[in-house]
Amino acid sequence: MDNTKLVRWPKLVTGFIALLFAGIIYAWSITKTPFMLLGDGGLDNSAQLGLNYTFSIIFFCIGGFCSGLISKQTTPRLRLVLCALLIFSSFFTSSLQIVTLPFTRNYFLLYMAYSMLGGLGIGMAYVTLISTVNMWYPDKRGFASGIMMMGFGVSLLIIGSIVDVMGKSEAIGWRSTYVIISIALGVVFLIAAIVVKPPPRGTVFPESKPVGEDDPDSVVRDFTALDMIKRPSFYLIFIYIMILAMSGSAAISFAKDIILDVGAAESIAVVAVGGLGLFNGLGRLASGWLFDKLGIKQTQLISSAAAILAPLTVVMAITANSLILGIAGLCLCGFSYGFAPTTCSVFAAKFYGLRNFSLNFSIISLILLPAAFAATIAGSIKTATGGFMPAFIVLTALTAIGFFVNLAIRKP
């Protein structure tokens, strides 16, 4: 076996494990439990806690952007050590807030500790790991990105479930769980800082196999971030991926409620939410494999078809009051959403080159910012209309528009 292949596998495995832990940012529906004040004198702090998740995603995007900005002035090791410190500080400080928040009601400190420190650290780690590990896989960029992002996607199902059990355990409790999380994530990212590093200059990699006219090796030039954002292709890509992410974000936020609305028991609703997380991870892996095997054009047609079918199936499930269609629709929403992050990585490399990949990738990944508000908008529509169907009809229409936006994308 090629020595290069033997050397690069540990980087990919480490990237997968690190992003599996980093995906805890999506588990706020679980980790917010000790901060909930429902029943405490009739106080409902759902709005304040919901805002914390929105801030987490905003700072996640800012952290990724900062990582891209300083990528040429710093080493991946230095950035990952900084990430370890930020994430450790985030969860350890939040463990103190678990004790004080019910008395102080100081949500500003929660936002600073959990959202700002944690979001910045996880965002920086996300971009650093994907950018650095992808350097080892010029022949399989889609595959490498898909593997790592699958870890990030299934974190809710795996890490979230473990955290939920620990937090509800009388022997451990939520405060100790947060302390354990802070130590575990700090150690994981320190190990990643040691293992994940760029390939030595002059490393020879296996040649990528052409898959058609949109083959990644046909990139004409390396675009700077400024050159990239001047291209019409950038805005078309941004809009298309944003639509993918908005549909998935809304589905994740209301998955349990939708399944309950079609007549499922609580236990089945919980399993359905886990299935959505699993299919989200599978979507990330499948999209990476498809990009490598079929190329951009065919993979994007597949992603468009999945994107339209996902919310449409949810609409049909609500219309027919069908549990089977409801579960299928949510799984399709998760699967379709999985294409979004992998598409960000693949387009950043195949359209705009590798020289400025870290910064370009972090900019394209900013699609999470508008997508973070999709759940809020969908919730407002649900409140105004009394049901989820209008929201998912709107999402179906958006994904149909996304299909034509997708057709218009051309390599610069």
- On whether residue 391 sits in a domain, the answer given is yes
Contact 122, 87 (CB under 8 A): yes
Quote the domain boundaries for residue 128: 1-207
Looking at the structure of the chain, the number of domains it has is 2
212 within some domain: no
Whether residues 167 and 260 share a domain: the answer is no
Which one of 207, 238, 265 terminates a domain? 207
Question: Closest by alpha carbon to 151, among 129, 118, 179?
Answer: 129
Checking phi first, is residue 3 left (phi over 0); if not, alpha (psi -120 to 50) or beta?
alpha
From first to last of its 412 residues, what are the pLDDT tens digits of the chain?
456 666 888 999 999 999 999 988 878 878 888 887 655 455 667 678 778 888 888 899 899 999 988 988 999 999 999 999 999 999 999 998 888 887 777 888 989 999 999 999 999 999 999 999 988 888 787 888 888 888 887 887 788 888 888 988 889 999 999 999 999 999 999 999 999 998 888 777 776 665 554 554 454 578 988 999 999 989 999 888 888 888 777 777 677 778 878 777 767 776 777 777 788 888 888 888 888 888 888 888 899 999 999 989 988 988 888 888 888 888 888 888 888 888 888 888 888 888 888 888 889 888 777 776 777 777 777 778 877 788 889 889 989 998 999 888 888 7
Q: Are 392 and 270 within one domain?
A: yes
Is residue 75 domain-resident? yes
Whether 214 maps to a domain, the answer reads no
Instruction: Give the C-alpha distances (Å, rounded to integers) separating 4 from 1, 157, 202, 371.
Output: 9, 33, 12, 38
**Boundary residue ending a domain (145, 177, 207):** 207
- Has residue 215 been placed in a domain? no
Helices assigned H by DSSP within 262-373:
266-294, 296-320, 323-352, 357-364, 368-371
Whole-model pTM over 0.85: no
Do 243 and 363 fall into the same domain? yes
Examine the domain organization and report whether 12 and 48 are in the same domain: yes
Contacts from 96-100 at CB under 8 Å and sequence distance 24+?
Answer: 97/35, 98/34, 98/35, 98/174, 98/175, 98/178, 99/175
Assess if residue 279 is contained within a domain. yes
Rg (CA), the chain: 21
133: domain CATH number is 1.20.1250.20
Is residue 227 domain-shared with residue 346, that is, in the same domain?
yes
Same domain, yes or no: 196 and 234 = no
Q: Residue 43 phi/psi, 5° resolution? A: -80, 135
H runs (alpha helix) in 196-265: 225-228, 232-261
Same domain (yes/no): 131, 243: no
Specify whether 227 is located in the same domain as 202. Answer: no
* 157 and 272 inside one domain: no
**Residue 76 and residue 94: Cα distance in Å, rounded?**
27
Say yes or no: 183 and 321 in one domain.
no
Domain end: 178, 207, 236, which one? 207
* 32 & 136 share domain: yes
Q: Are residues 167 and 87 in the same domain?
A: yes
Nearest to 88 by CA among 171, 17, 189: 189
In a domain, 105, yes or no: yes
Domain membership of residue 349 (yes or no) is yes
